[in-house]
C-alpha cells in the first residue's frame, strides 16, 4: 500500500474508510493507523461532520430518566441527575453508526456520512480560497456580535472602534456582508442593513446572482398531471404530502411536515434552515425512522409544491445504491388545493404555533417540541375518522409503523389531555 501524506486533505475514499471504521466500532487510533493520519485529524473530521439524527426529548441527558421521580423536569441541581455518558458516541469513534443499541437508545444520536462530510469539506475549502479565513462557528459568533449593533444604527467603523477584539478590518466585514458569508453561517445580515448602503456598489459577481435563470428540469415527468397519470395506473399507491411551515423566513425555525393520507397522520421534522439540503435530510430522517422497506411502501408517492427548497428530486427518489426510495411529484404553481389534506391539518398545527409569533420564544427549539406537537394532533379524535384519532387508525392498520413512531419518541395522549393551544409547549 502506497504511503499517504500524513497531513494531506482527506479524500472521499478515506472518508468512506472512516465511515466503515465507525460502523465496525473501531477506535480513532485504529482508523488513523489504517489511513496513516494523526489521531487528531480523524477526531476533528468525525466531530466536525457528524450529524445529529435524533435529539433527546428532555432538557438534559440523564441516565436516570426511566426511574425519574421528579416528573422528568430535568435540571442540573436535581439530586437524581446523572449525566449520560456514551463511550462510543462521546469518546471513540465519536458517532453512532453501527451501534447495536441504536434503535433502542433514546439519547442524542449522531451519524457520520462520508459523502456528506466530503461535500461539506469541499464547500468549506472553496469558501476559504475565496477569502473567508474563519470557521463557520467563528463567522456565526462574529455575526451575532455585530448584528444587534448594526440594527441599532451603528456603522461598521464604529463597531470596530468599540470592539478591538474583532480581528478583521472594516473592508473585510463589508465583504463578508456583501458576499453573504454571515447569511451562509445562519446570521441574517444583508447589505441593506448597512448605513448609507445605497452609496455602495455590490461586487459584479454578487450583482448577477440576483437574477439567475430558474432551472426547472426537476419538474420533467413530475408535474401534477404526471401524478394523476401515475395514480391512474397505480390506484393503490400510498401518497404522502409534504410542505414547510414557518413564521420568519430569515431565521426560522422551520417545520417540515409530512401528511400520510392513508392514516390522516402528521409527522413534523425540525429544521434550522429552509433549503434543499435540509429538506432532503428531513426525508432521509423519515426513512431512518421507518426503515427502508416500510418507507418505500408507505411513501411510494411524495407530493409537494414547487418551493425552491424541494428541488432535490433525483437525490430524494434514489438511494446511493440505485434502488428507488420514493417518487416525487409537484403541484401546479399557485395551486395549494392540490395538497389540500395537508393544508387542512396545518390549521390544527397553527392553533399550537400561530402565525406572527416568535416560534423560538413559543418553545419550538428542537425536534422534541415538534414530536410533542404531532403527538397531540395525532391523538385528537376527528369526525372525518368516525370519532377515531390518527393514532388509533394507524395502530389498527399498521401496528409496525406505530411502534416505529413510538420508538422515535411520539406518544399517545389521553383524549382529555390533548392540547391544541400554544401553552402546550410551555408545560
Q: Give me 324's grid cell.
A: 428507488
| Chain mean position to CA 36 | 33
Count of alpha carbons within 13 Å of 127, Cβ hemisphere only?
A: 20
Share of the chain above pLDDT 90, in %: 46
Q: Residue 292 pLDDT more than 80?
A: yes
Span 404-425, pLDDT tens digits: 999 999 999 998 899 999 999 8
Q: Quick check: bond before 414 cis, omega within 30?
A: no
Residue 111 to residues 94, 253, 278, 284, 401: CA-CA distances in angstroms?
A: 9, 22, 15, 12, 23
What letter would DSSP give residue 411? Answer: -
Euclidean distance between CA atoms 35 and 31, whole angstroms = 6
Span 93-131, pLDDT tens digits: 999 999 999 988 989 999 999 988 887 776 665 455 455
Mean pLDDT of 234-262: 92
pTM: 0.52
> Left, alpha or beta for 61 (phi > 0: left; psi -120 to 50: alpha)?
beta
Mean pLDDT for all residues in the chain: 85
Domains of the chain, earliest start first: 12-118 (no CATH), 130-210 (no CATH), 217-426 (3.30.420.10)
Span 120-160, pLDDT tens digits: 776 665 455 455 666 777 888 898 899 888 888 788 888 88
Euclidean distance between CA atoms 193 and 184, whole angstroms = 16
User: Rg of the Cα trace of the chain?
Assistant: 24
Asked if residues 111 and 50 have their Cβ atoms less than 8 Å apart, the reply is: yes
Residue in the structure block whose three cell numbers are 463557520 = 136
- From the DSSP assignment, how many helices (H) and strands (E) are in the chain? 19, 7
Q: Give the pLDDT confidence score for residue 129 in this predicted structure.
A: 43
Euclidean distance between CA atoms 326 and 316, whole angstroms = 7
Residues in the chain: 427
Q: Quick check: bond before 93 cis, omega within 30?
A: yes
Span 6-24, pLDDT tens digits: 556 788 889 999 999 999 9
Span 180-200, pLDDT tens digits: 888 777 788 888 777 655 445
Amino acid at each position: 500500500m502506497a504511503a499517504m501524506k500524513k497531513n494531506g486533505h482527506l479524500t472521499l475514499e478515506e472518508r468512506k474508510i472512516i465511515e466503515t471504521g465507525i460502523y465496525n466500532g473501531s477506535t480513532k487510533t485504529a482508523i488513523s493507523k489504517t489511513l496513516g493520519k494523526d489521531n487528531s485529524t480523524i477526531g476533528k473530521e468525525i466531530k466536525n461532520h457528524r450529524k445529529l439524527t435524533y435529539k433527546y426529548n428532555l432538557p438534559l441527558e440523564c441516565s436516570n430518566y426511566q426511574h425519574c421521580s421528579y416528573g422528568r423536569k430535568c435540571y442540573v441541581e436535581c439530586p437524581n441527575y446523572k449525566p449520560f455518558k456514551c463511550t462510543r458516541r462521546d469518546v471513540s469513534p465519536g458517532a453512532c453508526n453501527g451501534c447495536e443499541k441504536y434503535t433502542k437508545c433514546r439519547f442524542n444520536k449522531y451519524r457520520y456520512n462520508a459523502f456528506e462530510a466530503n461535500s461539506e469539506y469541499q464547500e468549506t475549502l472553496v469558501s476559504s480560497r475565496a477569502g473567508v479565513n474563519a470557521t463557520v462557528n467563528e463567522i456565526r459568533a462574529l455575526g451575532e456580535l455585530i448584528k444587534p449593533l448594526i440594527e441599532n444604527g451603528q456603522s461598521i467603523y464604529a463597531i470596530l472602534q468599540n470592539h478591538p477584539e474583532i480581528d478583521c478590518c472594516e473592508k473585510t466585514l463589508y465583504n463578508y456582508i456583501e458576499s453573504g458569508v454571515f447569511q451562509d453561517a445562519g446570521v441574517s445580515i444583508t447589505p441593506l442593513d448597512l448605513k448609507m448602503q445605497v452609496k455602495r456598489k455590490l461586487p459584479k459577481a454578487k450583482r448577477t446572482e440576483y437574477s439567475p435563470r430558474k432551472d426547472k428540469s426537476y419538474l420533467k415527468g413530475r408535474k401534477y398531471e404526471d401524478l394523476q397519470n401515475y395514480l391512474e395506473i397505480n390506484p393503490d399507491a400510498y401518497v404522502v404530502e409534504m410542505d414547510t411551515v414557518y413564521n420568519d423566513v430569515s431565521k426560522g425555525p422551520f417545520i417540515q411536515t409530512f401528511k400520510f393520507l392513508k392514516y390522516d397522520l402528521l409527522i413534523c421534522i425540525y429544521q434550522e434552515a429552509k433549503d434543499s439540503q435540509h429538506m432532503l435530510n428531513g426525508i432521509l430522517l423519515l426513512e431512518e425512522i421507518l426503515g427502508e422497506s416500510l418507507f418505500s411502501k408507505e411513501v411510494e408517492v411524495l407530493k409537494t409544491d414547487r418551493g425552491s427548497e424541494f428541488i432535490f428530486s433525483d437525490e430524494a427518489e434514489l438511494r446511493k445504491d440505485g434502488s428507488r426510495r420514493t417518487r416525487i411529484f409537484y403541484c401546479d404553481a399557485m395551486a395549494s388545493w392540490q395538497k389540500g389534506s395537508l393544508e387542512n391539518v396545518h390549521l390544527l398545527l397553527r392553533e399550537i404555533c400561530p402565525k406572527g409569533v416568535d416560534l423560538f420564544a413559543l418553545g419550538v427549539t428542537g425536534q422534541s417540541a415538534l414530536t410533542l406537537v404531532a403527538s397531540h394532533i395525532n391523538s385528537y379524535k376527528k369526525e372525518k375518522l368516525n370519532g377515531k384519532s390518527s393514532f388509533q387508525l394507524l395502530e389498527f392498520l399498521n401496528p409496525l409503523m406505530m411502534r416505529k413512531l413510538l420508538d422515535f419518541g411520539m406518544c399517545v395522549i389521553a383524549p382529555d389531555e390533548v392540547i391544541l393551544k400554544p401553552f402546550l409547549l410551555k408545560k
